[in-house]
């Protein structure tokens, strides 16, 4: 090594090293610099001068010779790398060692590779180093290359392999050659800085999760050549605002654009027949969709929580799966001509939905299909409906009326619960079962006409229907369940069916306007609190077959003046059955001794034999 230095004021000193020359212009030197201090400074600076960022432009003449042109020290310091010529598995393996690093120490002269240009490289088939297919990079080739910012792929590349650039979270620009026909699963997954992608006109297939979590990607145009796009292909691309699908796709696969919360513009191909599960779930900025006429199926959660979606034509759709439009809070109207399947929760929480017109071969309104559609005021059901399932129209607070088809066989539990604007309902004679709480809390309901030959008014069916005044029950009813008419404070009278055998607990509790009740001849049991707090109840007639009256059944009925009991044998009661009641009890003639012998009845005053 030769070193020349001159220590004079305002003059240069030159350091000559084997591989480079450094010329420095020092500031004016006032004090004499000692030889020892100079060499100490020199030793401190040397490591930083010895290794610097490297840019390499390499042409490989023969496959397998890339390593001949890159030294060991350069491997860790190459920032920009351009490689031309034929590459085999050993060459690609070396590229991975250079590019696929997540850390670098600049103090040690290490730098991550930020730019990779392989546009003039040719990938050869072979088994050396890494097994390769011609014109394809191996699976996961540059996975986790944390430094990569720009990449140019080989001009004759046909396949971008599985997970090829997965996790390259600084990759902002990629040049895909026109020769590429397939982008495999996860190829660009988690490339968070990728803002744009120009897909080649000859592309045929896009794999599952290919661009998932590309958070900066703003627009995508799927070429007309694309025939297949895998599930979650663009899942959670937060910045994506525009999607134009020109390809002849027959299906948008599962979660393809799920969570693309800024997606505003969507063009779907005319060839489309199905939109799969969660395909556009959570696309909160999507306000309108022009659905192609050929679309017949919409999968589970396909448009769930598309909260800005207000306009979509579903006329030709035949199949709507569960949760398909749940949470589409801006959707205003829907219409179907050929619907054959409507899944559970399909339009749940569509709070702006005002009208729904359904025609087709639909047999079931599934559970919670229109749950909490609080603005729904007008609905037309097809003539062939057999079942309205549980919670189907629960909390549809604007619904004032609904015409139930004569084909209807079953109404599920809570089906119309809290439809607080519903004023009247007629149950067709085809109905054989109505579930519990079916019309609970329908506070505007005034009249109910049940024509169907049901056998039970199930628990809570009309509970808290505070304006209910007129109820017509079929003769087929044998049981009234617990709380069935509890809180129906508007009922003044009700005729109970002759086939009735049991009245459940709290069945008519707090029916404050009820003035009289005749219990049919076949009734053997009246439950606890059955008529508790019926404050206007003045007269009661109990049947000959009655065997048990539950605790507090007629308690707190201050207007009760007469209870006519036709049972010769005293029915079982408790101390609270007639608590806070001052009625006269009329028992069958000649039965006084039986009532006096009963431990509870004997303590009740006002017992008189009938004349």
For residue range 429-462, what is the model confidence (pLDDT) as tens digits?
999 999 999 999 999 999 999 998 999 999 999 9
Given 154, 187, 221, the domain boundary residue is 154
* 420 and 494 part of one domain: no
| C-alpha dist (Å) from residue 379 to 175, 356, 508 | 53, 5, 32
CATH number (domain holding residue 407)? 3.80.10.10
* 434 and 361 part of one domain: yes
For residue range 384-434, what is the model confidence (pLDDT) as tens digits?
999 999 999 999 999 999 999 999 999 999 999 999 999 999 999 999 999
Cα-only R_g, the chain: 41
For residue range 518-530, what is the model confidence (pLDDT) as tens digits?
999 999 999 999 9
Q: Which long-range contacts (CB under 8 A, 24 or more apart) does 185-192 make?
A: 185/209, 185/210, 185/230, 186/162, 186/210, 186/212, 187/160, 187/161, 187/162, 187/163, 187/211, 188/164, 188/214, 189/163, 189/213, 189/214, 190/166, 190/214, 191/165, 191/166, 191/167, 192/216
Alpha carbon distance 370, 356 (integer Å)? 10
Alpha carbon 162 to its chain centroid, in Å, reads 28
Residue 579, pLDDT above cutoff 90 = yes
* 443 and 518 part of one domain: no
Residue 553, pLDDT above cutoff 50 = yes
What is the chain's mean pLDDT, rounded? 92
Domain membership of residue 235 (yes or no) is: no
Domain membership of residue 355 (yes or no) is: yes
* 435 and 486 part of one domain: no
Domain membership of residue 600 (yes or no) is: yes
Given 15, 30, 50, the domain boundary residue is 50
DSSP 572: B
Contact (Cβ atoms closer than 8 angstroms) between residue 555 and residue 534: no
pLDDT for position 407:
97
- In 121-197, at which residue ranges do the beta strands (DSSP E only) sit? 121-123, 150-152, 159-160, 173-175, 182-183
* 423 and 488 part of one domain: no
* 338 and 394 part of one domain: yes
* 80 and 100 part of one domain: yes
* Closest by Cα among 257, 243, 119, 221 to 177: 119
Phi then psi for 67, rounded to 5 degrees? -65, -20
Domain count, the chain: 4
For residue range 487-497, what is the model confidence (pLDDT) as tens digits?
999 999 999 99
Contact (Cβ atoms closer than 8 angstroms) between residue 119 and residue 142: no
Could you identify the residue written with the tokens 């959670």? 236
* 336 and 371 part of one domain: yes
* Closest by Cα among 127, 152, 155 to 142: 152
Could you identify the residue written with the tokens 């997540």? 102
pLDDT-derived band at 98, boundaries 50, 70, 90: very high
* 70 and 18 part of one domain: no
* 20 and 87 part of one domain: no
Tokens of 86: 């034929």
Residue 559 neighbours by CB distance under 10 Å: 15
Domain membership of residue 200 (yes or no) is: no
Alpha carbon distance 448, 391 (integer Å)? 19
* 63 and 41 part of one domain: no
- What is the per-residue burial (b if ≥16 Cβ within 10 Å, else e) of 536-552? bbeebebbebbeebbbb
Domain membership of residue 326 (yes or no) is: no
Residue 10 structural domain = 1-50
Could you identify the residue written with the tokens 């230095």? 5
Domain membership of residue 106 (yes or no) is: yes
* 380 and 509 part of one domain: no
Given 107, 129, 154, the domain boundary residue is 154
Domain membership of residue 319 (yes or no) is: no
Residue 289, pLDDT above cutoff 50 = yes
Domain membership of residue 232 (yes or no) is: no
Alpha carbon distance 280, 320 (integer Å)? 14
């Amino acid at each position: 090594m030769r070193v020349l230095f001159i220590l004079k004021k305002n003059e240069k000193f030159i350091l000559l090293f084997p591989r480079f020359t450094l010329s420095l212009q020092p500031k004016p030197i006032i004090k004499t610099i000692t030889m020892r201090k100079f060499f100490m400074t020199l030793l401190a600076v040397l490591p930083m001068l010895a290794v610097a960022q490297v840019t390499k432009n390499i042409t490989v003449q023969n496959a397998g010779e890339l390593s001949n042109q890159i030294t060991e020290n350069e491997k860790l310091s190459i920032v920009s790398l351009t490689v031309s010529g034929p590459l085999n598995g050993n060459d690609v393996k070396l590229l991975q060692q250079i590019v696929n690093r997540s850390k670098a120490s600049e103090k040690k002269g290490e730098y991550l590779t930020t730019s990779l240009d392989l546009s003039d490289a040719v990938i050869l088939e072979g088994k050396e180093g890494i097994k390769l297919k011609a014109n394809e990079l191996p699976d996961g080739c540059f996975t986790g290359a944390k430094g990569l910012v720009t990449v140019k792929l080989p001009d004759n590349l046909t396949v971008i392999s599985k997970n090829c650039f997965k996790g390259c979270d600084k990759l902002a620009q990629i040049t895909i050659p026109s020769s590429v026909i397939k982008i495999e699963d996860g190829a660009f997954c988690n490339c968070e800085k990728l803002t744009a992608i120009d897909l080649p006109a000859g592309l045929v297939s896009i794999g599952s999760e290919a661009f998932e979590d590309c958070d900066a990607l703003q627009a995508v145009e799927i070429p007309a050549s694309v025939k297949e796009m895998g599930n979650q292909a663009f899942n959670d691309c937060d910045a994506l605002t525009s999607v134009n699908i020109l390809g002849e796709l027959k299906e948008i696969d599962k979660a393809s654009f799920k969570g693309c919360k800024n997606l505003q513009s969507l063009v779907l191909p005319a060839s489309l027949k199905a939109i799969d599960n969660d395909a556009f779930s959570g696309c909160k900025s999507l306000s309108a969709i022009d659905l192609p006429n050929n679309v017949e199926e919409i999968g589970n959660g396909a448009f769930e929580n598309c909260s800005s979606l207000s306009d979509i034509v579903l006329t030709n759709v035949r199949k709507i799966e569960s949760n398909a439009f749940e949470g589409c809070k801006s959707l205003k109207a829907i219409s179907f001509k050929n619907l054959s399947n409507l899944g559970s929760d399909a339009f749940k929480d569509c709070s702006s939905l005002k009208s729904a017109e359904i025609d087709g071969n639909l047999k079931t309104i599934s559970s919670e299909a229109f749950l909490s559609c609080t603005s729904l005021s007008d609905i037309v059901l097809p003539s062939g409906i057999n079942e309205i399932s549980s919670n189907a129209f629960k909390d549809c607070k604007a619904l004032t009326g609904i015409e139930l088809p004569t084909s209807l066989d079953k109404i599920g539990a809570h089906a119309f619960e809290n439809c607080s604007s519903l004023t009247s309902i007629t149950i067709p004679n085809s109905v054989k079962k109505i579930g519990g709480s079916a019309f609970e809390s329908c506070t505007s309901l005034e009249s109910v006409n049940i024509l169907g030959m049901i056998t039970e008014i199930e628990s809570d069916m009309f509970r808290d229907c505070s304006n209910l005044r007129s109820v017509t029950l079929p003769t087929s009813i044998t049981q009234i369940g617990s709380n069935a008419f509890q809180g129906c404070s508007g009922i003044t009278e009700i005729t109970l069916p002759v086939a009735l055998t049991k009245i459940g607990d709290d069945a008519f509790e707090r029916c404050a306007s009820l003035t009289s009740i005749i219990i049919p001849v076949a009734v053997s049991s009246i439950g606890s609190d059955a008529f508790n707090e019926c404050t206007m109840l003045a007269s009661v007639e109990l049947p000959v077959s009655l065997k048990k009256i539950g605790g507090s059944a007629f308690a707190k009925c201050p207007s009760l003046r007469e209870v006519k009991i036709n049972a010769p044998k005293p029915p079982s009661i408790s101390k609270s059955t007639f608590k806070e009641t001052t009625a006269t009890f009329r028992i069958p003639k000649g039965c006084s001794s039986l009532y006096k012998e009963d431990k509870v009845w004997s303590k009740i005053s006002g017992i008189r034999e009938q004349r």
